């Protein structure tokens, strides 16, 4: 018998079996984590003012109440190590003159969590000090500063990669160090899908990146993100500049690897960064939500357009992501698309569906249905009950096929641009008052208090409790009913998505019961 990190590998005859601890067992990320990270929009342009301003805006815009909890500082925050103090990391005093603990205190005072970044290598990706070989001292620093979340990157790893054992051991070292501090710190691996982290990530961390870095583009080919297309999941070089559909195609093969406390991470959201159309951002947010990816905003909240705030604020879609069952939707079929020059067209049209927690029928859960149109024109898409419920019985024989289903459009109640702009304007007024940021007390172009009264507040009632209570904000708008053996039809925008919650009609009589 020998040890590898926190694992004991036992040898019995010719068999090898691992005895490990499930997940990090830190009680965190029971549903996918939500928050904000500066990297996509701002890169190394970081400061304590940026973090505190953004934290206040998360509160102002009602995003905290929707579940966006973590304010995550990415790379480029340190200025080396202190040789006279156990080689601990030194925050850049120009960017963070009050130190990290003071920033954490400000964020905690808003009932938000503070996240930080490091790297499982000699250097970070921005060439600052990494944590490889310094895991214990760095974990202790993070805990002392009041850190609640660690994003842990993979640059300059000195070759400690190449198979699953090497990579998992390297990442487990920091996970064990974080746990040893006694402070619950959500642990997010950013190793780009190298060495198949979906096979071992649930024993090491709360989430793991499945691909190279996302780029604000729908489906453009980029040689720096290899393994293009709907069948390219076995990718030895994750790369970067990966399109939304490139990443989404890759997760199709590993949706079963996610579970409460441990999630496939498709990378941060690009909603609001300006390079995609509104339908593309709607589809992007829908796709990430359906497969239970962490929802980490990656835009500059100090300069947000109302249509982007309305996407990020859709509680009915977030409720799918935060569903208490914790089951990812799965791809049921894909038809290759009609991409043009410069566009892969590889996303085609896709049907995804999956289980959601249901309360209206004693025997049958709700179901999410996601129709994704990667074609370069609006497309009428059809999904049969047989395809939607294929996992519930042999093809055509799932009992749900013989039932009637209420169809609820999860985007029909999307916040209007006018309402979103009123929220933004209210915050702009509040930021100039001596009372600080409190959009609910400001009237600007309307009554902000009334606006927030009509929005979901997950800090007052969890998504699990809201769904159990059949809160209408979380359920979408009823549009039609699909009859037994029927078909759900939707006209889907170019590079867009339609997203529905199906609810079993309690009075439905199955055909077999009539025989």
Q: Which residues are catalytic?
A: 153, 213
Which of 475, 493, 495, 489 minimizes the C-alpha distance to 314? 475
User: Which residues face 460 on adjacent strands?
Assistant: none
Q: H-helix or E-strand containing 418?
A: helix 417-430
Which of 481, 309, 316 minimizes the C-alpha distance to 413? 316
* Contact predicate 288/261, CB 8 Å: no
Instruction: In whole angstroms, give the CA distance from residue 330 to residue 255.
Output: 6
Instruction: In whole angstroms, give the CA distance from residue 288 to residue 230.
Output: 16
Residue 278's alpha-carbon distances to 217, 241, 266, 283, in angstroms, are 12, 20, 20, 9
| Parallel, antiparallel or unpaired: strands 186-189 and 496-504 | unpaired
Which of 173, 456, 145 minimizes the C-alpha distance to 316? 456
Q: What b/e readout covers 315-344, taking b as 16+ CB neighbours within 10 angstroms?
A: bbbbbbbbbbbbbbbbbbebeebebeeebb
- For residue 349, the 8-state DSSP code is E
Max intra-chain CA distance, the chain: 83
Which of 91, 74, 95 minimizes the C-alpha distance to 82? 91
Instruction: In whole angstroms, give the CA distance from residue 100 to residue 138.
Output: 13
359: Cα separation from own chain's centroid? 25
Which of 365, 405, 360 minimizes the C-alpha distance to 385? 405
* Contact predicate 427/437, CB 8 Å: yes
Residue 64's alpha-carbon distances to 178, 226, 372, in angstroms, are 25, 36, 28
């Amino acid at each position: 018998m020998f040890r590898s990190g926190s694992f004991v590998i036992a040898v019995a005859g010719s068999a090898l079996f691992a005895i490990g601890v499930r997940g990090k067992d830190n009680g965190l990320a029971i549903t996918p984590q939500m928050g904000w990270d500066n990297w996509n929009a701002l890169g190394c342009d970081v400061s304590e003012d940026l973090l505190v301003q953004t934290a206040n805006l998360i509160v102002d815009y009602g995003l905290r109440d929707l579940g966006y909890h973590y304010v995550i500082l990415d790379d480029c925050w340190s200025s080396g190590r202190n040789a006279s103090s156990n080689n601990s990391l030194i925050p850049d005093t120009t960017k963070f003159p009050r130190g990290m603990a003071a920033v954490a205190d400000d964020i905690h005072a808003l009932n938000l969590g503070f996240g930080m970044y490091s790297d499982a290598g000699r250097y970070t990706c921005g060439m600052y000090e990494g944590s490889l070989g310094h895991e214990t001292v760095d974990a202790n620093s993070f805990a002392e500063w009041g850190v609640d979340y660690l994003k842990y990157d993979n640059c300059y790893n000195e070759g400690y990669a190449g198979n699953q054992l090497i990579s998992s051991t390297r990442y487990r070292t920091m996970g064990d160090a974080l746990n040893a501090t006694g402070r619950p710190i959500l642990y997010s691996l950013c190793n780009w899908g190298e060495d198949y982290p979906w096979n071992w990530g649930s024993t090491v961390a709360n989430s793991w990146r499945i691909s190279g870095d996302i780029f604000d583009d729908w489906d453009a080919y980029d040689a720096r993100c290899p393994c293009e297309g709907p069948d390219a999941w076995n990718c030895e070089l994750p790369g970067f500049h990966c399109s939304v559909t490139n990443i989404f195609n890759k997760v199709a093969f590993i949706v079963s690897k996610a579970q409460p406390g441990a999630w496939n991470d498709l990378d941060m959201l690009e909603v609001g960064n300006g390079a995609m159309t509104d339908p593309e951002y709607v589809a992007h947010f829908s796709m990430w939500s359906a497969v239970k990816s962490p929802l980490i905003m990656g835009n500059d909240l100090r300069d947000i357009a109302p249509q982007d705030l309305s996407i990020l604020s859709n509680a009915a879609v977030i409720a799918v992501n935060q569903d208490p069952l914790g089951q990812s939707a799965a791809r049921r079929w894909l038809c290759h698309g009609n991409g043009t020059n410069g566009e892969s067209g590889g996303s085609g049209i896709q049907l995804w569906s999956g289980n959601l927690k249901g309360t209206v029928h004693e025997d049958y859960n709700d179901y999410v249905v996601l129709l994704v149109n990667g074609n370069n024109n609006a497309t009428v898409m059809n999904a049969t009950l047989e395809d939607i419920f294929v996992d519930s019985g042999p093809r055509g024989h799932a009992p749900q096929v013989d039932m009637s289903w209420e169809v609820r459009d999860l985007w029909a109640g999307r916040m209007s641009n006018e309402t979103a702009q009123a929220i933004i304007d209210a915050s702009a007024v509040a930021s100039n008052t001596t009372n600080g940021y409190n959009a609910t007390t400001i009237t600007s172009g309307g009554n902000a208090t009334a606006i927030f009264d009509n929005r979901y507040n997950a800090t007052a009632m969890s998504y699990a409790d809201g769904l159990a209570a059949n809160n209408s904000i979380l359920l979408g708008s009823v549009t039609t009913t699909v009859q037994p053996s029927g078909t759900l039809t939707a006209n889907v925008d170019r590079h867009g998505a339609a997203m529905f919650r199906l609810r079993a009609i309690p009075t439905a009589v199955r055909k077999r019961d009539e025989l």
